[in-house]
A and B are shown apart, each in its own frame.
Chain A
Amino acid sequence: MADLVSHPDEVKVVSKRFGKSATNIDRYLELDGYKAVQKALGMQPDAIVNLVKDSGLRGRGGAGFNTGMKWSFVPKQSPKPKYILCNGDESEPGTCKDRLIFEHDPHSVIEGVVIAGIATGSHAGYIYIRGEYRYLLEIMQKAIKDAYARGFLGKNIFGSGYDFEVYWHGGAGAYEVGEESALMESLEGKRGIPRIRPPFPAVVGLWGGPTVINNAETLASVPHILLGGAEWFAKLGPPKNGGTRLFCLSGHLNRPGVYELPMGYNLKKMIYEVGGGISGGRKLKAVVPGGSSCPVLTADEIDVSMDFDSMMKAGTMLGSGGVVVVDETTCMVNFALRIMKFYQHESCGWCIPCREGTDWLKKTLTRFHHGGGVKKDIDNIQYLSENMLGRTFCPLGDAAAMPTISIVKKFRKEFEDHLEGKPCPFEKAGVTEPAAVLA
C-alpha cells in the first residue's frame, strides 16, 4: 500500500523482492525462497552462528549488536524450551521499514526466524507485529498458513526431522513494547514493563526459556547471508558493519521514501542525492539520523558515513534507519517539545527518572516554547535530561534524554531567542494557541 521508490545507488538485498508479489508463496519460491532454510538444515548450528557472526550483521532495531554474537549467547542445553522472537513492533518515530518487509516479503521473515531457530536449537518462534499494522498481521497470518500447508513449518520441516513452529502475535499500541524485555512481557499478556537485566533474554526470556530477540529487518537479512555467504554480505558495508540498510527518509525532502543503501553510505549524499535535497530549495537545519531517540546532527555535521561505528564517533547513533530531515523554517524548541511529548506519553511509569523526567521536561519545554521560560530553564532542561541517562530499566529514558541534550547544546541560541516572553520566532502569524497535549 505504501509507495515504493528507487534510486540508482540502491543495493537491493532485503528489498529485492519488493513489488514482486512475493507474498504469494509460489512466487516467493521462484525468487529463491526457502532455499536458505534448506541449506541451514544441512549445516551444523555452530556453523550457522559463525556465518552470521562473520557477515557483520548487526541489529537493525537500533542497538547494532552483532546478531551472530547474540545467537551464540543462547545456552546449548536448556531444561526450558528456547524461543525465537521477531520484533515487528516498529514504532520509533521516523521508522517505517519493517512495514515494507511485512507487506512485500513476509516469507523472508519467517525464513529468518526458522534459521535462527536451527542455529540456536529452538523449536518455536513468534512474530510480533504492532497492533496498528493490522493489514500486515493479516498478510503474515496467511504467509504462515501457506508455509504450514507446504510442510515448511511444523513437524519434520522439509523432511529433515527438525520440528519448528511459527506463530503470529499482534500488539495493541505501545512504543515501549519495542524494547526487548517489554516485548516479552507484552507477548506473555501483560503490561509492557521492562525487566531488569541480567539475566539477559538469551538465558532467561519468554516464559523463563532462553530467547533470541531480533528485529524484523535483521531476520529478513539472514536468508540472504546463508545464500550469498558471509564474505559477500560483510563487503557490502565498511568493516564490522555488514550489509545494507533500509533507510527511511522523511521530513523536508523532495523525494522521501524507503531506500536500501549500503551500510556506510554518506549522509550528505543520502539527503541531497537520494532524497532529492530540501523541499522548496530551503536550507538544511538539522537531521535526526536514526529515529527520534538519536542525538540530532546540525547541517555542518552531515558529511558522515552511515554505519554504526562512524555514527557513534560523530556523537550520535545509526539507530533504526529513520532519517528525519529538518529545514531552516523549523523551531528547534518546538521540535524538542514534540519529541518530549512523545516520550512522556509512551513512558510506562515504572522507573521514576523516566516517568518524572519526561513529564517535567514536557512541561518546561511547553512553557518555554510559549514564551514563559527563564534563562535558567535552559540549563535545567539539560540537567534533567542528563540525570535520566542510564538510570532506568529500559532505554526509553535515554531515548528521551539524548535528542534533548543534543538540541539544547547545538541550538542554544534558539532557546535564548524564546526568552523574556518573546513569541516563538518561527511561529506562523496568528498561531498562539498552546500545542495540544496528548492525554
Chain B
Amino acid sequence: MKFSDQFEARFSDMLTHYPTKRSVLVPTLLYAQDEVGYLSPDVIHEIAQRLDLTELEVSNVISYYSMLTTKPRGKFNVQVCTNIACMLRGGEELLDHCKTKLGIGHKGTTPDGTFSLEEVECIGACSWAPAAQVNYDFHENLTVEKMDKVLDEYRKN
C-alpha cells in the first residue's frame, strides 16, 4: 500500500500529537480515503497494521462516520443538504433536480464514474441555504440553474 509523501509526513507528525497511536485513526482514514477514493480492504489492512488494531476495530470505526465509505464513489461526490434550513429554501427540490440531471439516486454513481450523489445532513451553511458540497467545496445560495452551472464546471474538469 503506497500513500503520497504528504500523507506520510502528516501521518508521522500526527503520531506525535497524542499519547495513544489509535487517536490518529479518524483523520487518517479520511486522508487515506481522499487518496485512494474509498476505504478498500487494502487500506483497512494497512491502517490497522500501522496502528496495532485489528481490521475489525478499524471497520467498526468506519461504519460510524458518515463521510467514510468502503465503496468507490464518483470523482465528484455531490452532497446536497436537505436538513431544515436548506429544506425551507428548496434543498429537496435541488436534490430531486440532481437526481434527474445525473440519472442517479441517493448514494448512486454515474456509469462513467464522474459523479456520485448523496443527500446529506446539515453541512453548516444554514444562513446561505440551500447548499451543497462537491467533495470539500461549498456551493451556497443555490438555485436549480446555479446547480446546473456548478455540475457543468466539474464535468469539464
List residues of A whose CB falls within 8 A of some B CB. Answer: 1-3, 81, 90-96, 98-99, 126, 130-135, 167, 169-175, 186-192, 207, 248-252, 256-258, 288, 292, 322, 324, 326-327, 330, 335, 338-339, 342, 345-346, 348, 435-436, 438-439
Contact = CB atoms under 8 A, between A and B. Distances in A.
B5 to A, nearest CB: 17
A422 B138 CA distance: 39
A436 B94 CA distance: 13
B17 interface: yes
21 contacts: A2-B138, A2-B140, A3-B140, A90-B124, A91-B121, A93-B85, A93-B121, A131-B30, A132-B67, A133-B124, A169-B26, A171-B65, A172-B27, A174-B66, A188-B22, A191-B63, A256-B126, A338-B84, A342-B122, A435-B92, A436-B119
B87 interface: yes
A191 to B, nearest CB: 4
Nearest to A130: B124
Nearest to A343: B121
A96 B106 CA distance: 25
Nearest to B125: A96
B128 A3 contact: yes
A272 B85 CA distance: 18
Contacts of B157: none
A134 B18 CA distance: 21
Interface string B62-84: 01111110000000000000111
B55 to A, nearest CB: 15
B84 A207 contact: no
Q: Which of B24, B88, B128, B141 has the most CB of A within 10 A?
A: B88
A191 B68 CA distance: 12
A144 to B, nearest CB: 11
A346 B136 CA distance: 21
Given A135-B136, A191-B64, A91 B122 contact: yes
B127 A2 contact: yes
Nearest to A433: B96
B100 interface: no
Contacts of B64: 174, 191-192, 348
B20 interface: yes
Contacts of A3: 128, 140-141
A257 B67 CA distance: 27
Given A250-B126, A438-B106, A338 B83 contact: yes
B95 interface: yes
B123 interface: yes
B133 interface: yes
B106 A94 contact: no
A212 B73 CA distance: 38
A190 B107 contact: no
Contacts of B19: 81, 207
A96 B20 contact: no
Contacts of A90: 124
B24 A189 contact: yes
Contacts of A98: 124
The 3 closest A-B pairs by CB, nearest first: A189-B25, A173-B67, A173-B66
Given A93-B121, A94-B85, A256-B127, 20 more contacts: A2-B125, A2-B138, A3-B141, A81-B19, A91-B122, A96-B126, A131-B30, A132-B67, A132-B123, A173-B66, A173-B67, A173-B68, A189-B22, A189-B23, A189-B51, A250-B85, A258-B127, A342-B83, A436-B92, A439-B106
B43 interface: no
Q: Which of A172, A173, A330, A335 has the most CB of B within 10 A?
A: A172
B61 interface: yes
B97 interface: no
Nearest to A100: B127
B12 interface: no
Given A174-B66, A330-B88, A188 B23 contact: yes
Contacts of B63: 191
A131 B65 contact: yes
Contact of B26 (A2, A186, A324): A186
A172 B68 contact: yes
A26 B125 CA distance: 29
Interface in B101-154: 106-107, 119, 121-129, 133, 136, 138, 140-141
Given A174-B64, A348-B64, A250 B129 contact: yes
A82 to B, nearest CB: 13
A130 B66 CA distance: 11
A7 to B, nearest CB: 13
B4 interface: no
A93 B127 contact: no
A187 B128 CA distance: 29
